[in-house]
Amino acid sequence: MPRALSGYIDIVQAITARYADRWAKQGQLTWYPELRHYTLDVACKLLVGLDNGSQTQLGHLF
């Protein structure tokens, strides 16, 4: 695995764990918006270093 990609593993795991915990507590959820927020949070963190991108102005526009 290229070094650049291996550096992403911890970040993606942390975001995934945060979402998995939240989803487990919700019990019932609508998958499309949740996966869209998850994907945007991962992309924002990896590409521009922005935490919780789905909760920003950019996320609301997305």
pLDDT in tens, the chain (62 residues): 577 788 899 999 999 999 999 999 998 889 999 999 999 999 999 999 999 999 998 888 88
Q: Are the beta carbons of 8 and 42 closer than 8 angstroms?
A: no
d(CA 51, CA 49): 6
52 in a domain, yes or no?
Answer: yes
| pLDDT of the residue at 1 | 55
57 in a domain, yes or no?
Answer: yes
7 in a domain, yes or no?
Answer: yes
Q: Is the pTM of this model over 0.75?
A: yes
Please give the tally of structural domains in the chain: 1
20 in a domain, yes or no?
Answer: no
| pLDDT of the residue at 24 | 94
Range of the domain at 55: 3-15+28-61
48 in a domain, yes or no?
Answer: yes
